[in-house]
Amino acid sequence: MEKVLLGMSGGVDSTVSAIILKERGYEVIGCTMILNGKEKETIKDVKKMCDILKIPHYTFDFKKEFKCYVINKFIEEYKIARTPNPCVECNKKMKFGLFYEKAKELGCKYIATGHYAKIQFSDKYNRYVLKKSEEEKKDQTYFLYGIPKEELEHIIFPLENYKNKEEIRKIAKENKLAVSEKKDSQEICFIENDNYKKFLIQNMKEKPKKGNIILKTGEILGKHNGLINYTIGQRKGIGISYKYPLYVVDLDYKNNEVIVGKEEELYSKEIFAKDLNFQIELGEEFTCFAKIRYRAKEEKATVKIKKDGAEVKFFEPQRAITKGQSVVFYDEEGIVLGGGIIS
């Protein structure tokens, strides 16, 4: 019987994952990572579920590492007017980094999580690959491109073949688990009430400064109250009126300026990506389908690998490309090729 270490967050997805793994004949060990020190209730809930399912449960204190790799990076990126994605970093460094190392220490051949994604062997690439979930709306491969390719054959996503959340809740209900009605968490785990601006102001050493709101021509239209309060593509809440609708088209950290313009100025075909991770190697130039944010649709693009990153050229213009977010590459079958951070 193969051992698997399952990351459990107290939600219905990871709990049902434990049920599925047990049914498949694995020796399941439940585990909860302590990342921000606010997991007391979560741990209580998970321990209850593990007792019902008759599986052991461990906790690993990763607060120090989480602060270093995820929280500090989140703050630093906003400080230089970039919009980071902390879930990408957390998956790379914590859930499929430190967590995987702990699994090996415990003699587990596999790790598992309740992510909506697929791992399967591909004859096309002659290796294990990460592939989009059957549940398109819930698919989380965008956040998982940072997993080292060597780890893929040691990862199990028990929910990979389920097409909707109701199927998952039904399994929890059938097993008489209270978690069946628990709501999904949509927030960044370390930010209370999803108020990231308040979090940043409380945690930044240098507080946001006021500056100019300008057109690309340099014409000053008004004042802003700190770059952290603005995002690329924003229209509402800019605080100025003009003869035509204005959108935030860029954030200039060096000059502390919010640059605004017409909606068409938000569109671009080209980006540059750094901090690349490839799960499939396709050479120095290839065509694929890429997306620039979690909720975006994949669009056809050409990728050219350079010394310090990759040039990505889309066939069609993309709206509101945002520095700090990830661009993720897929093939025509929905297999993740890799990705990087937009710079």
Rounded CA gap, 247 and 38, in Å?
37
The contacts of residue 97 (CB under 8 Å, 6+ apart) are none
Q: What is the CB neighbour count within 10 angstroms for residue 111?
A: 23
Phi-psi region of 88 (alpha: psi -120 to 50; beta: other; left: phi over 0): alpha
CA geometry: angle 326, 327, 329, nearest 5 deg? 135
| Residue from 31, 50, 90, 288 carrying the catalytic annotation | 90
- Yes or no: say if 96 and 103 are a contact pair by the CB < 8 Å rule: no
3-state helix, strand, coil in the chain (%, to 5): 30, 30, 40
Is 50 among the catalytic positions? no
The pair of three-digit structure tokens given for residue 212, joined into one six-digit string: 């100019």
Is 87 among the catalytic positions? no
> Which residues are annotated as catalytic?
90, 189
